[in-house]
Structure 1
């Protein structure tokens, strides 16, 4: 192993002025339970925001603010391109940060604050009937939303590679994040549409939701900051014999990491297309309202919460995250294809079963995709002698933003090209071509992307033995 690797924990001054070690536990053994829970809570607020925006915002913009579907697709795409630029930058900033709270944790609070403010503002944006600048204002708020998400998420995702060096313990830590995503999905995909409907629907219901969920986002980020005060953290390597070009080359020749980036892009593009189109599917294909949408979100979240311990149990026995990631992806693709056969006459129980099964597959994809990332980052530390977890997390989340840019844009532009009719008063009759486009966006297209991700995963080549050897 390269001797330049720095595994020393960050030193923070104590009240007596002497250095205090943050994270004084064996990184190769089990992490403290409260630390795992506290770190996972940070995902809850971001998951609430992420799922609520992905489920509700596009239809809110097209059917209540009067923004054309194609225009929304372009705005969303541009906001994600902005993200693609800022994520690696945020990673580099966090790598170089020096503070009493460490390199990553200060951004948990700052990111939560910006995210909460942006979420509230998005669902209070003016319509095109209220101001000629409505589209520009909406675009600016999407940029603010993207900024808050980046400030929080990039440093947050850099933390697991520092918190533990154990192959399976990383999966255990990430499982707490998956639980938080499950509860966040419950709030964002199930409770959110129910609450909007309960508060009268329309713009008024969305405004009430924004204020309440905005508070949840901020509380979760502060809780995460407080609960991770003893998390192990590595220090930045100030000097390196490597040139800038050599450092960059080592990133892009890190085969396990680049495979994960490609797989993540395909998975999240699939998710972006599905989530953006699903609310239209419920309203225009299943002929149901926000109450049914909430029940389906409940089934999906229940599937995630049930699936998470099952996938972790499988990981402990099979000890091969790659194979399990492939299994989850194939299973998810088959469930997505089944939506092609759904219709308004289908019993609600069958529809909910599909969402439940999809939740189980989602738990596996999230668990193994995120648990393999710290392994690939540690592989870089072994090769380069650098501690640049932030940059890797930034590149990884750039793939996420790119995927959602492409996926969200494809959905909006495709619906527009297929004749989707926008409105400022809610649902309106849609042509058959638009209905067919909605079917494609919730079934065939996202399933195809997942099947391609499985082919890419066959090239991943980082085993448990290699990960454990690098940690020694």
Structure 2
């Protein structure tokens, strides 16, 4: 049965809540250093690593990139269920951040530390280590994404918390996505391309570790408004979660958009090396894609306060889709035009991160208020499984488009490409993502939980109150 309208559910009743302290907001946001980095770098560099360094055929490389992520689709709901039932004096979710996050950093570095020949052995190493890395990420990401619904009961506070998170997420994506190719290229110029990827793997592993430790320490004083863990089997809980109409609509929207963004990320290196005649085009194109988020993220939050999250998500999706279609201009070889189109994508991308991340806790909290059971971990497990599927489908789809276009793989990245491959790169980078994003609008229009009655008024604060709830008591 679908959930009742938001205006008549128990979650709509005003509840006195205290704002989260700036320390907790910043601490939680640091976890996005890990999620943003891992969500970006494999999608950006793993496919070209396989095709242009290890010499794996484009079609096979697409499958190899997809399979470990597909495993997470099954694992993430299990990770959510386990974290729902976890009991620890350090918090229900926090121990997962440290343990799984440390494993994530280590296994990521090892992905690029394997043999380079023969091709079957090199490819096998990548698949096994990427599978281990994706598994560790599941047990970090799912508890991390589940925390906001338990940290605060306030509708607006969740948006503010997500705004902090997305700001850090944008910085992390910008830092990792722009510098990872620079590290590869710098080391490649001095030694070899293979050495460049190995150094990059260690560098990104350290970046991941910074986000892991920051989130673990920063949330040690976070409130916990969690309710009783759900009873029943994992299958029963998944069935109950699947009955939420709003969750289905939101998840499908996000998965389709993640696939579109994933295809664009996978195409950056190929567009830079085959379409744009400009030095450092891969890093510049990526910066043009991400940098606008640093400016517009607060504006999207303001939009949500006045127009609602759903309306904001629709507006952001429009920017995302139009910008994606405009990037086809890269086939002309004009780097400035490609950068401008990427900037339009970036404006939409910021909102397409802020709004669904703020809407998911609303769905989970509404379910908890109606049922009295905490299925937050199950919701976020399914959610992150969907996100993982989308980000895996993106590079997979792009790789298949390359294969259909006759892309020629090599061990040094210097193979001359036929005209059909050049066209495939441009189409896979622009019109394919744009089509996926346009399709997502059909599902976003079905989301109905964004009702003003759902909003819980923020507590009034006297002039002598501080931002820290502990100090204001």
Confirm or deny a common fold (TM above 0.5): yes
Q: Which SS does the other structure have where 1:335 is aligned? A: helix
Query: C-alpha displacement at 1:72, in angstroms?
Result: 1.4
The aligned counterpart of 1:203 is: 194
**CA RMSD of superposed structures (Å):** 2.4
The aligned counterpart of 2:402 is: 415
| 1:115 corresponds to 2:91 | no
Quickly say closer, same or farther: Cα 1:38–1:245, change in 2 above 3 A.
Answer: closer
Q: CA–CA distance in 1 between the matches of 2:45 and 2:106?
A: 17
Per-residue CA distance 1:174-222 (angstroms, 9 max, x = gap): 0111111111111122122122222235122222222122112112201
The aligned counterpart of 1:57 is: 46
Q: CA–CA distance in 1 between the matches of 2:294 and 2:323?
A: 18
Query: C-alpha displacement at 1:128, in angstroms?
Result: 3.0
Query: C-alpha displacement at 1:302, in angstroms?
Result: 1.8
The aligned counterpart of 1:229 is: 220
The aligned counterpart of 1:272 is: 262
Q: CA–CA distance in 1 between the matches of 2:142 and 2:268?
A: 28
Q: Which SS does the other structure have where 1:192 is aligned? A: helix
How do 1:15-94 and structure 2 match up within 5 A? 28-94=17-83
Quickly say closer, same or farther: Cα 1:243–1:115, change in 2 above 3 A.
Answer: closer
Q: 1:259 aligns with which of 227, 237, 249?
A: 249
Conserved 8 A contact 2:153-2:225? no
Q: CA–CA distance in 2 between the matches of 1:27 and 1:81?
A: 42
Q: CA–CA distance in 2 between the matches of 1:109 and 1:378?
A: 25
The aligned counterpart of 1:160 is: 148
The aligned counterpart of 1:215 is: 206
Query: C-alpha displacement at 1:238, in angstroms?
Result: 5.2
Query: C-alpha displacement at 1:357, in angstroms?
Result: 2.3
Conserved 8 A contact 2:257-2:437? yes
Query: C-alpha displacement at 1:246, in angstroms?
Result: 6.5
How do 1:305-320 and structure 2 match up within 5 A? 305-318=294-307, 320=308
Q: Which SS does the other structure have where 2:414 is aligned? A: coil
| 1:147 corresponds to 2:135 | yes
> TM-score if structure 2 supplies the norm length?
0.89
> TM-score if structure 1 supplies the norm length?
0.89
How do 1:277-356 and structure 2 match up within 5 A? 277-289=267-279, 291-318=280-307, 320-343=308-331, 345-346=333-334, 348-356=335-343
The aligned counterpart of 1:378 is: 365
For structure 1, list consecutive stretches of 5 or more residues without a partner in the other structure. Answer: 7-25
Quickly say closer, same or farther: Cα 1:62–1:247, change in 2 above 3 A.
Answer: closer
The aligned counterpart of 1:390 is: 377
The aligned counterpart of 1:453 is: 440
For structure 2, list consecutive stretches of 5 or more residues without a partner in the other structure. Answer: 5-9, 460-473
